[in-house]
Structure 1
């Protein structure tokens, strides 16, 4: 009368609804109540969100545990009396016990084998049943945010680190990563470093300091211009650096400083790049991509803004000061590696970019399908080229929580060396 399903089902956005449908369908197929017991915690890229549930033989929800929280969910069930024989044609060995197994149509073209074991034929003594607990499922933003917090907390703790450090630029990505780190570990274990260059705006430096003040992290300002100038002077005899090379030098100086602090104090370096940047190669190897863990590497830029707004609204509801200054959320995104630089100088608008990336990466649509779906042909060509060329960069990025169905590295890994081209006929 009871089917117990012990699971390590990793989190993905929207997956909980599919689990509910699957549990209900399997319970009806087996003709038994079903207890779906799921793991809680993080392991490398994977995050397990719990949300264990129990449904009756008709697939109706009886109880549900909270997500991302280890808990003991007690459920009292009325089960049918044990049967000495099950409606099956063959015996199936299970350890030292023998039950009977029968193939049941799963409704999707596959067969599920139901093996029945009689644990006891004695009825349970009468007792007062406890009221069932049905925890409310988190909304989409809260669920995603908690997945990132859980993944970060467990990666840091289970790998023996006691603290983290990250560059705090005054931009939205590093602001969100710092906030996630504080929620995961506590402010006393989070260290942030502002590393302004000659191109950094006063507003960005001030915004970073304000976020540090609000969250209570240990914050340091370490201007990098003297180090950058020293590099330029050293390389002058080799022709010097200009353009993109000069921009990337600033990012690499910052990466070197953070890794030095990691070596000196045992901090784990958190990188702050998002999925849109990872997809298009909009990062610097051994610069802003240098580190040990990447909390938002599977989060598109548009979702970064959504999570920042959600976290601030969550603080408002609790009567707390929002951790992320509004100035950080509303400012146009910029790497600030050159005068007047904006992300939009080199990338499509993030709303447009993320829509194409979602279809190309998550849904595996090709060029023709993307254009048929309504995306601009010029944008499609540009995005495909950027994504394909950036594969070599993605191979060198640190791990981070998988929260989508197609995370780079774990789920989407293509050959770097490939001269394949689509045939002109399509």
Structure 2
């Protein structure tokens, strides 16, 4: 027997239930008429979009979901629709996967495992289900699970006990840099445990700081990947499952699934995957918030140039504007090089002289008449940001910050200066990663002058604080930051692992802890790690925790 399945990697707008239902209807009809699919499988909470957060508490949610389900049931016939949505049942809200066919909601599964860590808050909103669901579609018994369920043994075991011959897992699994390997290892393990193939359908798109990269795939009963959909591409991806039974040496009957038209798309390189996540994160944030475009302040820092290039790749040259802010210290050679980069990408650049503003502000003395060390650099940074935000407002576009994670961690960026903006593309990218991302982008097409990857790579604020003198020093610094922020190791453990002096590690960690108040006021940015400055890491600003504890 065979069963043709369409895996729908869809990009939904959170909360736009009516439009999302129309997208579901259009995709299902296309899968039926053009793809000749018998089943279409959508990701977790498709009707609502993901993650919906406190929109789930809206009093009108129940009626809106019921109307959307009615629309799908009314307009889609002759194809099984397996769809994720939130639904109230007897006053409780569940994260559901419904099976719809020919105007009837024939079965409904409630998510059993509710994650409540990092970016997930399922227990805030949902009640947990406790029963398996198996549906028979054309003689194949399909067990359903949702996202976190597949990370635990019990839901898959319950589905197997209920007679499932294959498991369909509906997902909205946010991107981080190592996630693809983690997912594949997990499904390999789970398939072996239950001796069943698993079809894994993932969400695609970005929502605020979260990115979902698609990459839906299938593993057979031995945990071997036999089909892979593309990453970072919305669409319908078809697989015709050939199902048959085999008897093992122990006399057990095994259900085998083999895709007749399957394909194994090669995994992306780390840099390409990371770059595409940044592009998608920016594009969806601009599109879903209906900004006309973005404005970038170009300077010789690699972060600024990389932010600019990513913006052009995400939105197109016609939706990106650049401003070059100069003063008496600005090098004409550097200015010419920046203008050349903008010209290569067909983006117009406006030059603004901020020297008059600098002079005007410098006549103002602080109380007591004594200026603090470094106040001049902070003043310039704030004037630049004031100029950037004012221009963005007048143009009706969004201003981008180009701050990176190393600067954010150490506080080596000016509050209401360089760290300000409406969105920060590189907020979760360490400085040492900036170099590799620039090199990757140049490998696609040379845009960034190669010599700048060395000559203009160092940040003066970091140099003064930590005696950073080379790219290698940044790699060491970022290793310390990752161990502290990403792995939550203490001071002594970091000293042991890095062989860096106790005093230097102590200095770095002290700067991280002292800069929490700055990070709380930073713009939203694309999340690419499991320890981003945002929903992943929630430390109190006022606290008495000692560094050595």
Q: What is the TM-score when the length of structure 1 is the normalising length?
A: 0.82
**Aligned CA distance change for structure 1 residues 207 and 238 (closer, same or farther; 3 Å):** farther
Superposed, 1:83-94 pairs within 5 Å as none
CA RMSD across the alignment: 2.0
CA distance in structure 1 between the aligned counterparts of 2:334 and 2:314, rounded to whole angstroms: 25
Matched, 1:181 2:306: no
Superposed, 1:69-148 pairs within 5 Å as 69-80=233-244, 130-148=260-278
1:173 is displaced (CA, Å) by: 0.5
CA distance in structure 1 between the aligned counterparts of 2:390 and 2:524, rounded to whole angstroms: 20
CA distance in structure 1 between the aligned counterparts of 2:375 and 2:413, rounded to whole angstroms: 13
**Which of the numbers 528, 536, 542 marks the counterpart of 1:403?**
528
CA distance in structure 1 between the aligned counterparts of 2:268 and 2:327, rounded to whole angstroms: 41
Superposed, 1:334-349 pairs within 5 Å as 341=460, 343-347=462-466, 348=468, 349=473
Match of 2:213 in 1: 49
**Which of the numbers 327, 344, 351 marks the counterpart of 1:197?**
327
Contact 2:405 2:431 in 1 (8 A): yes
Higher relative contact order (CA 8 A, sep 6+): 1
Match of 2:279 in 1: 149
Match of 1:223 in 2: 353
Contact 1:66 1:136 in 2 (8 A): no
Matched, 1:351 2:475: yes
Match of 1:371 in 2: 495
1:237 is displaced (CA, Å) by: 8.7
1:201 is displaced (CA, Å) by: 2.9
Match of 1:103 in 2: none
CA distance in structure 2 between the aligned counterparts of 1:285 and 1:187, rounded to whole angstroms: 30
**Which of the numbers 541, 544, 547 marks the counterpart of 1:416?**
541
1:204 is displaced (CA, Å) by: 2.8
1:294 is displaced (CA, Å) by: 0.3
Please list every run of 5 or more consecutive structure 1 residues that lacks an aligned counterpart in the other structure: 82-128, 316-321, 336-340
**Aligned CA distance change for structure 1 residues 403 and 422 (closer, same or farther; 3 Å):** closer
**Which of the numbers 197, 201, 208 marks the counterpart of 1:37?**
201
CA distance in structure 1 between the aligned counterparts of 2:543 and 2:508, rounded to whole angstroms: 18
Contact 2:305 2:448 in 1 (8 A): yes
**Which of the numbers 338, 341, 360 marks the counterpart of 1:211?**
341
Match of 1:64 in 2: 228
Match of 2:431 in 1: 301
1:164-218 deviation digits (Å, cap 9, x = unpaired): 0011012200000001000000011111111122333333322221211111112
CA distance in structure 1 between the aligned counterparts of 2:337 and 2:431, rounded to whole angstroms: 19
Match of 1:87 in 2: none
CA distance in structure 2 between the aligned counterparts of 1:252 and 1:79, rounded to whole angstroms: 64
Please list every run of 5 or more consecutive structure 2 residues that lacks an aligned counterpart in the other structure: 1-164, 246-258
Matched, 1:333 2:418: no
Question: SS at 1:324's partner residue?
Answer: coil
1:129-180 deviation digits (Å, cap 9, x = unpaired): 8421211111111000000000000001001112100110122000000010
1:351 is displaced (CA, Å) by: 2.1
**Aligned CA distance change for structure 1 residues 150 and 412 (closer, same or farther; 3 Å):** same
CA distance in structure 2 between the aligned counterparts of 1:422 and 1:154, rounded to whole angstroms: 39
Per mean C-alpha deviation after superposition, the further-off stretch among 41-50 and 404-413 is 404-413
CA distance in structure 2 between the aligned counterparts of 1:233 and 1:163, rounded to whole angstroms: 36
1:238-269 deviation digits (Å, cap 9, x = unpaired): 72645311110101001111111121111101
1:25 is displaced (CA, Å) by: 1.9
**Aligned CA distance change for structure 1 residues 130 and 57 (closer, same or farther; 3 Å):** closer
Per mean C-alpha deviation after superposition, the further-off stretch among 42-51 and 232-241 is 232-241
**Aligned CA distance change for structure 1 residues 342 and 283 (closer, same or farther; 3 Å):** closer
More strand by share: 2
CA distance in structure 1 between the aligned counterparts of 2:368 and 2:384, rounded to whole angstroms: 22
CA distance in structure 2 between the aligned counterparts of 1:329 and 1:207, rounded to whole angstroms: 14
CA distance in structure 2 between the aligned counterparts of 1:300 and 1:376, rounded to whole angstroms: 21
Report the number of matched residues.
367
Per mean C-alpha deviation after superposition, the further-off stretch among 200-209 and 396-405 is 200-209
Match of 1:380 in 2: 505
**Aligned CA distance change for structure 1 residues 406 and 230 (closer, same or farther; 3 Å):** same
**Aligned CA distance change for structure 1 residues 237 and 11 (closer, same or farther; 3 Å):** closer
Contact 2:295 2:400 in 1 (8 A): yes
